[in-house]
Amino acid sequence: MKQIASYFYILAALSALCGMAWGIQMSASGDHLLSPAHGHLNLLGFVAMAVFGTYYALSPAAAQSRIATIHLVLAVLSVVVLIPGIVFAITGQGEVLAKIGSILAVVSMLIFTFVVAKHRIPA
């Protein structure tokens, strides 16, 4: 599935745009309380997704594997759950989502590690 790289790139770009808008909003308001969530959105949403997309673009065999689709779903879930979870944790609304999102992020990275170990990028 060659499209997997494109999906990761689209998600990275959307995350970057959201992160930039959020950063501008924090700067304009002078309220940087949620900057840890903003930072995680940029790191996991933009940087990690872009790295994943680049790897899958360079490794067609890995991109066509079923596990790549599972990786995409878990990576998206980790961002969608973790970022609001961090907001909730910071604002005193509980840490459950942050914990679940963190576990999803680790599992997503474990899957990526497995994929990278299994599928070598052609020379």
pLDDT tens-digit series, residues 75-123: 999 999 999 999 999 999 999 999 999 999 999 999 999 999 999 876 6
* pLDDT band at 50; cut points 50, 70, 90: very high
Helix 3-29 and helix 49-58: axis angle, to 10°? Answer: 160
pLDDT of residue 122: 66
Task: State the pTM of this model.
Answer: 0.93
Q: What are the structural domain ranges in the chain?
A: 3-118
pLDDT of residue 121: 75
Residues 6+ apart with CB under 8 A from 75: 8, 11, 44, 48, 49, 52, 105, 108, 112
